[in-house]
Amino acid sequence: MDFSKVPSKWLLFCFFLLLVVETKGENEEKRQVYVVYMGAAPSDSKDFLRESHLQLLGSVLKRGEKAENTLVRNYKHGFSGFAARLSEAEASALRRKPGVVSVFVDPVYKPHTTRSWDFLQQSLVIDSRPNSDSVPSAATADTIIGLLDTGIWPESQSFSDNGFGPVPSRWKGICMEGSDFNSSNCNKKLIGARYYATNEAPFTPTARSNANSARDEQGHGTHTASTAAGNSITGASYYGLASGTAKGGSTGSRIAMYQVCSSVGCPGSQILAGFDDAVADGVDLLSVSLGASAYYRPDFSEDPIAIGAFHAVAKGITVVCSAGNDGPTASSVVNAAPWILTVAATTIDRFFESDILLGGNKSAIKGKAINFSTLDKSPNYPIIDGGSAKSNSSDVASASNCEPGTLDRSKVKGKIVVCTHSQSDSTKTIKLQGLQDLGAVGIVFANDMQETYVASSYNTYPVSEIIVQAASDVFNYIKSTKNPVATILPTITVTNFKPAPVVAYFSSRGPSGQTRNLLKPDIAAPGVNILASWIPTSTGVPNGQKPSSFNLVSGTSMACPHVAGVAATIKAWNPTWSPFAIRSAIMTTAMQVNGDKAPLTTASGSAATPYDIGSGEVVPTAALQPGLVYDLTTRDLLLFLCNYGYNSSKISLISNDTSGFSCPSNSSTGLISDLNYPSIAVSGLKQNEIRTVNRVVTNVGSQDETVYTATVNSPAGLDVKVVPNKLKFSKSYKSLDFQVVFTMKNSSSQGDLFGSITWSDGTHTVRSPFVVATAN
């Protein structure tokens, strides 16, 4: 357009109009979704909560704005609150309103992404404990496991209801109809499914294709649900790998899915909605394989999982959560609230071997990966290290690591390329894509030592992974001959692999960043290359094969439902037990040794500590007969919040306490150690200082008179006494208290000191790990 022909007065008017519009845009505050948390829901006013929430919301909006138009969702069952689209000014105004505990921007969490049960129930059970065959599947038939996850694939055999009786009458949930999902997709096994529509969340309709359905399009939720409670399926495998019987930990339990996640994450407002609905629906326990990053650690009152779990547990629902995948970095554990059962990940005795066969003497280098290589099994392919294939503009170090853009196509095409790899590099997926684009026929990753035990899945592309030490043999061979050749063999399954279990390198570690006086994680369970049900997908399907109904996946996400399955069985056998008694049974009966009866180790070979595994590796059958339990009440949790630093008025809102609860005047972080937890953590102990910790145990074993005796395993320089060291239980005295007295005797003993206290009556062994962090 020729602006020289436009009258100047019109140009001036247009300029003024643009200026007004731009100024209006700058002055108009950006709105985003906030969560407004208001504590426990009054039991007698659920029908009025929505109206009261709308009134509160309307009080901070501009005149003429309707609260209904900004409200995203309303919470009224397990707790009170709402999510709404607000400006920061409106959110700040709400924070000052009476009855509001917290207001925070809606966070987006991520999922913490069969032989495992056979391994747990056979390899680790000692002779004095009950055999797994003594656990009748009918015992769990009325237990309901809820999962907050990516949804579910209802057609999976894992969720067939063959042989199941009527749905428990206490179930109040629904099977939400949606896109490609209707009420007939639920049955007497999969008894409920809910989803949380995109138009009520901070995403556009194009952000996820399964926005209006509980159908799983990621696979994660189907995998975790089948691990926790899937039916027993013979002939299961991942394209022939890990073949055998796939089954959940509590095959007789019912499943309810709450789809709170998609490919773009898990909004906190949807997580809270899942918790809120699950409480009203009547689940017995919740498995939550998702959480915040270790680098984002919100306060308990601003963490959707901590909030939802608190109120679920207050209703008697056990909540099991993954510890996170940010290990092996210290203090990376998440979901560390004391009302959550927090699960770390370990390996099982199965290994996926993909060897590299070198030319010359045809020596084989043992590698690991999941691939269905179609390369010749004879070493006929040229092999080169990344550093030798560098482009003219790249340095040797970057090229050796096969960083994108550092390699010369003419040197790579048609060859197998050896790439060194560490955690600080670009991801293997990015490197693989780059090498594929350059025409490489295969890849060998030379990994850091700590990655030894996780077999990544590459499907049809020939890839194997070896540790740096083994890579020296490959590099030496390449240098020793003018025309080095090799091949990558397809994966085979190796069982009875040792040592096992081993702490997964990715599993998040303690100590808790929120309080050093509470030991987290709580327990460890299998989470590496777990075979479980999956969604049909055309991605990576080997030639001539149909999409697999199963997948091999790793993460604390996979460990979490293992423990949920155990908890469901305990709940079925002991329906009156609290979530804390169930947690105690799981923790105090855990094992600290591997299949060879040697101490558990990390992937790097160092001894595993309670910061790695909590109480140890879960033993399902032993947890059914714990002998003693460390129980808690909601009031104990309120005292924890006092010691954590919350004031009485905030706690009263959180708990809806009407009895005039107030925090003791001596509340302090040090008293968190007195929480009646199955493990003990003490921080800041000085030389010659005496610290006393209180505990109460309840006899749930023999009702006859029985005596438990305490034994202590303590490190050098730390004196630990149990007072009294004998506890005599009877029908009249089922709960007894004791004290643990810690004294630092040796100043040379510094840092984190680990030990344990074990009670035994000759039949039951009740072990509690402890950690004492000395003063700097």
Catalytic residues: 149, 220, 557
Q: Are strands 144-149 and 285-288 parallel, antiparallel or unpaired?
A: parallel
- What angle, rounded to 10 degrees, do the helices at 556-573 and 579-588 form? 110
Phi, psi of 172 (to 5 degrees): -115, 10
Q: CA-CA distance, 191 to 274, in Å (whole number)?
A: 15
Q: Is the preceding peptide bond at 501 cis, omega within 30 degrees of 0? A: yes
Over its C-alpha atoms, the chain yields an Rg (Å, rounded) of: 28
Residue 583: is it exposed, middle or buried by C-beta count within 10 angstroms (0-12/13-18/19+)?
Answer: buried
Q: How far is CA 347 from CA 117, 181, 278, 618, 768, in A?
A: 12, 35, 31, 12, 23
The answer to whether 323 touches 343, Cβ cutoff 8 Å, is yes
Q: CA-CA distance, 631 to 633, in Å (whole number)?
A: 7
Helices vs. strands in the chain: H and E counts, helices first = 17, 40
Q: CA-CA distance, 642 to 663, in Å (whole number)?
A: 6
The answer to whether 262 touches 295, Cβ cutoff 8 Å, is no
Residue 424: is it exposed, middle or buried by C-beta count within 10 angstroms (0-12/13-18/19+)?
Answer: exposed
Strand partners, 291: 110
Using alpha carbons, select from 582, 590, 643, 637 the residue that is nearest to residue 617: 590
Strand partners, 550: 533
- What angle, rounded to 10 degrees, do the helices at 556-573 and 220-229 form? 30
Could you give the dihedral angle defined by the CA atoms of residues 226, 228, 231 and 232, in that order, rounded to the nearest 10 degrees? 100
Using alpha carbons, select from 426, 427, 436 the residue that is nearest to residue 460: 436
The answer to whether 746 touches 684, Cβ cutoff 8 Å, is no
Both tokens of 727, joined, read 């506890």
Residue 428: helix, strand or coil by DSSP? helix
Q: CA-CA distance, 253 to 522, in Å (whole number)?
A: 24
Using alpha carbons, select from 269, 655, 747, 329 the residue that is nearest to residue 508: 329
Phi, psi of 135 (to 5 degrees): -95, 105
Residues written for the chain: 776
Write down the residue that tokens 């954590």 correspond to. 644
Both tokens of 772, joined, read 């004492």
Q: How far is CA 579 from CA 9, 41, 313, 316, in A?
A: 75, 20, 7, 6
The answer to whether 176 touches 277, Cβ cutoff 8 Å, is no
The three-point CA angle 509-515-646 to 5° equals 145
Question: What are the helix (H) ranges across 337-427?
Answer: 396-400, 409-412
Residue 164: helix, strand or coil by DSSP? coil
